[in-house]
Amino acid sequence: MTADPAPVADPLDQPVIAAAAAAEQTMRADLMRLVGQEAAVVAAAPAGAGKSHFVATTVGQLRAAGLRVALAAPTNDQVQSLVERVKQLHPDLPVAFVHAHGRELPPDIAALPGVTQPAAADAQRRQDPLVIATIDKLADAFLRNDLGGFDVLVIDEAYQADAARYYTAAAVAPTHLLVGDTGQLDPFSPLDDATYWRGGPEDPLQTAVGVLLRNHPGTPVHQIPITWRLEPRAVPVARCFYPGHEFSAAVRPGVRELRLTRPGPGSQPLAPIDAALDRAARHGWAHVTLPGAPVLTADPATAVFIRELVHRLLARSAQVTCENRPHLTSLEASQIAVGVSHNDQKDLLRAFLDSYGLSAVRVDTANRLQGLTFEVVVAWHPLAGATLTDAFHLDPGRLCVLLTRHRQACIVVGRDTDRTLLEGVPPATPGFLGWDPDPILDGWDAHEGVFRLLEPHVIQA
Amino acid sequence: MNTALEAYFAARIYSGGRALRRTTFRHVHLADPPLAIAMWRLGGERFRAAALAWGPLDGPFQLAVPGEPRNRDLYFAALEPFAVDLCARIRRVAASRVARQRGSVTEHIPADALQIVVPNKTTVNALGLLGRYLAYLSDRGGVAPHPALIEAGKHLRFYARNARVPGQALLVPLDRLVADHWATLLSPFEQANLAALDAQIEPGPGRHPFAASAAAEAAARIGPEPTEDIDRVTGSLLSEFNAHRGTSTDPTVTEPLAGPLREHYRDLIEPVWQLMNRVVARELQLTAAPSVYRRFESDRAAFGRHVDWVVNQGGHYRTTDTPRQAAITLRRLEDSLARYEADQAVEDPACMIGHLLDGDAVRGTVASLTETKVVVNVRRVPRAVIALDSPDPVTLPAGKELWWTATASGEPWEVQSLQHTSTGSRVFLILTARPTPARLPAVGDVITLSTLCTGHSHPWPMPPADPPWTHRPDTPLTEPEPIDSGDSEQPAAPVDAAAAEDPGRYT
């Protein structure tokens, strides 16, 4: 039997938590002050800041004040988890989930007391006091069924929502609360010339927060100074993606632990994998580099290595402990995720992991992993084996998502030559009048910072 | 773009010694002949054409060279024949209409539309800027520009904006046409050079495409941006022209003086004209895909609406979109892109390969076809289930909707389950509609199903006409000054860098 770690007096950093609570209180006070006016409050959060909890708490407070609330997010997964979170915090609060055809709530969430799934017209006729929907559905219901007349519109993941969608949904309520993670992926379009409008006030692909602040620069913007998901060892890397945003971990150092059994005899062929796992368990990070080579996007060698890594992690009887579970518990396959950049990488890994009976391990692209939390994450580095850098692979949002989903440890898998792509002078990038951010140079900078911080954790495979 | 497929192409081209077709059909309408335009600008002068050649591609081109394009009078005088000719061609083509029935609505759309081809995407942007400049000219100083210039500006602006629509054929940049239809060894940056692309396809006897395209790239002079050596020659000829004409804009004085500049540009444009001719002739040999006609019908409808607005109603276009227009345009363009990609893959097996490799499609043999009953809205309804044997390791999740390429505009099939076999995968799919003979493959058929649907996308409601407060600025924007303001001002005197004082700003 493995001994549990010695208990830490207080696993949480109370001053950090108090500062976050004060910031959240200020935001709610600002919002309540603005109710009834055409005005908004923006809450910018780092990864794992407890946005959903903040949103659900705020919604409860708005309802307690008798206000009619529309709560929206860009994707179906996000709104479904918002329904769940609201019901967790406010079991008695009636929730009307308005959805598109075929997008009903999963049965376990739909069965929660007080949860209904009305048609948009019924929700409006009954004046349901709290309606939750995707931004698209809310906009569609507003235009077709006059679903509106809310007091407050709350948008979660507002940095993922684009200005075009926000345009159509914005009129459902005069007062808005926009909550989002500034480090995640920006709104995206598959068009070749998606930057056509960039810099102009009409740009439909600027974020919802971007268009709001452009037109109303006096809108109060608050930063949430805490991350609940990430532990102190993960915070320096995460900060690469949030320049100008100070935040700290809620949990104290040493509280979380990933424990592995020792490699047994005959495990010499797995030495690099074991070395990576041991480093990740001890330091929270490992950066495995395969021999440098230009490879296909869905490189079989990298996929095989990741499969062996995940398999070995579970084979070494991984156990975890944290502030919520002071006793060591087995790491389940469902608590592990593999993050990738491309769908063909995902498909290849899915087939490889399934062949090892690891179907419970989540494999997904960064886009789909946004907002999710796992104990251990294996990140297929976006630049792994690339011969050139480009805007897609340098996107700081993509790397940010991949490196900020974990609570215990993150193992980055790439190739020896990845870092050399960033040597020398950064590429010339297009400039746009009226638009200051430069995602390529920002990405270049963030990637360099991450490589530098991961340098002590490099394991050559 | 699937990297495995790109790597395969690269290896085959490297060993085979010439570019390979990506497609088995031509997916863009090509007129025979189209109107071609080639253009040159002065270095650093983005809104002005220093030379503009135009004409049906199967004949000689006409050339407009203003001499000094920064002089308004000379510039307008030189562009006038082009503007008049372009307007006449557009009006002539748009005059003949045919009825199109859509539901209960009958529209009269042009029977044809004027197609323009240009050597590259940069020329599309240059024509857009030229159109933007001409379309909003004022009668500043009491001299109104020729109305054809303003109308031509509106036409060019329309063509350049419409060029954003995926699969459109009103304004075709030939570099893009070739790159979309041919796999080459060139990087995306190198593909912007039409001569290099052409050399990959026809490298010449005994020449490797790499060497051929490198040589073509070095030798080719394709506008609109001048290289430094061209700009140097142009600058010298321009100085000479200005020195001899003094301040005169009298055609009897300037026309003869502009001769050397005209010859300079004629020499540059001749080979580009031949190159465009060769490229279009080669692509015309390929059969057009079935959906090309439908897409060009959409182009004709857009062309007709434009002519009705600009010519018949004297309308203007906004210089910039409103947030609502931009939101609608974005959505329309994304819908067009999805439809264009679906059309290409469904009609052209070569275009489906990338989707198969990406896991968006599955190809296999129908092993069984059975009928079953399922409950839909409390009624038991008949459904068909097929087992599809694929030699590939399929990873499609249960519930995924796929369209059989033979009925891609119809009802989808849904993945029920997946079995991995020693020879690949067996996928069970259920048809989501009543089984009819037209919707069902036969046992033993080799079929392809993909996520690509060529049916009409769900109609989406238009955003409200009044922008919400979030999209209205706190303070109204100031009116911009006319686009040609400053044209009559004397240019600043040249500065002798050697005599200029060091401002010390950077020390």
**Cβ <8 Å between B470 and A211:** yes
DSSP code at position B308: I
3-state helix/strand/coil string of A224-293: CCEECCCCCCCHHHHHCCCCCCCCEECECCCCCEEECCCCCCCCHHHHHHHHHHHHHHHHCEEEEEECCC
pLDDT at residue B344, rounded to an integer: 96
Question: Which residues make beta-bridge pairs with B463?
Answer: none
pLDDT average, residue stretch B142-165: 93
Tell me which chain B residues have a C-beta less than 8 angstroms from the C-beta of A176.
470
B418's CB contacts (< 8 A; 6+ apart) are: B394, B395, B396, B398, B425, B426, B427, B428
Q: What is the pLDDT of residues B352-362, one digit of tens each?
A: 999 998 888 99
Q: What is the pLDDT of residues A3-25, one digit of tens each?
A: 666 666 789 999 999 999 999 99
Tell me which chain A residues have a C-beta less than 8 angstroms from the C-beta of B463.
139, 143, 164, 167-168
pLDDT average, residue stretch A423-452: 89
Lowest mean per-residue pLDDT among A94-98, A398-402, B206-210, B339-343: B206-210
Residue of A nearest to B121 (CA): A193
pLDDT at residue B502, rounded to an integer: 66
Distance CA A65, CA A88 (A): 19
**Cβ <8 Å between A202 and B4:** no
pLDDT at residue A253, rounded to an integer: 94
Q: Over 70: is that where the pLDDT of B496 sits? A: no
Longest Cα separation, chain A: 70
DSSP SS3 for A320: strand
**Cβ <8 Å between B471 and A174:** no
pLDDT at residue A447, rounded to an integer: 96
Q: Measured on CA atoms in the order A253, A257, A260, A261, is the torsion positive or negative?
A: positive
**Cβ <8 Å between B477 and A201:** yes
Write down the mean pLDDT value for chain B: 90
Q: Is A40 on the interface with B (CB under 8 A)?
A: yes
Kindly report the number of other CB atoms within 10 A of residue B387's CB atom: 19
Tell me which chain B residues have a C-beta less than 8 angstroms from the C-beta of A143.
461-464
Q: Is A351 on the interface with B (CB under 8 A)?
A: yes
Q: What is the CA radius of gyration of chain A?
A: 23
Q: Over 80: is that where the pLDDT of A190 sits? A: yes
**Cβ <8 Å between A196 and B323:** no
Tell me which chain A residues have a C-beta less than 8 angstroms from the C-beta of B162.
none
Q: Between these two residues, B491 and B44, which has the higher pLDDT value?
A: B44
Instruction: Indicate the burial class of B410 (C-beta count within 10 angstroms; 0-12, 13-18, 19 or more).
Output: middle
pLDDT at residue B493, rounded to an integer: 61
pLDDT average, residue stretch A412-439: 89
Q: Over 50: is that where the pLDDT of A1 sits? A: no
First-last CA distance in chain B = 49
Of A268, A375, A253, the closest CA to residue A319 belongs to: A375
Q: Over 70: is that where the pLDDT of B492 sits? A: no
pLDDT at residue B491, rounded to an integer: 55
SS3 content of chain B, % helix, strand, coil (to 5): 45, 20, 40
Taking CB atoms and an 8 Å cut-off, how many pairs form between chains A and B?
117
Q: Is A176 on the interface with B (CB under 8 A)?
A: yes
Tell me which chain A residues have a C-beta less than 8 angstroms from the C-beta of B472.
215
Question: Which residues make beta-bridge pairs with A227?
Answer: A249
| Nearest by CB: A297 against B3, B334, B477 | B3
pLDDT average, residue stretch A293-310: 93
pLDDT average, residue stretch B468-480: 85
Tokens of B68: 């000094």
ipTM of the complex: 0.90
A397's CB contacts (< 8 A; 6+ apart) are: A183, A184, A185, A186, A241, A366, A439
Q: Between these two residues, B473 and B478, which has the higher pLDDT value?
A: B473
Tokens of B190: 């190198």
pLDDT at residue B507, rounded to an integer: 46
B367's CB contacts (< 8 A; 6+ apart) are: B386, B387, B388, B389, B426, B443
B489's CB contacts (< 8 A; 6+ apart) are: none
pLDDT at residue B336, rounded to an integer: 94
Q: Nearest 5 degrees, angle CA B427-CA B429-CA B434? A: 165
SS3 content of chain A, % helix, strand, coil (to 5): 40, 20, 40
Tokens of A410: 């993150």
pLDDT at residue B4, rounded to an integer: 83
pTM: 0.89
DSSP code at position A342: S
Tell me which chain B residues have a C-beta less than 8 angstroms from the C-beta of A190.
334, 337
Q: pLDDT band at residue A461, thresholds of 50, 70 and 90?
A: confident
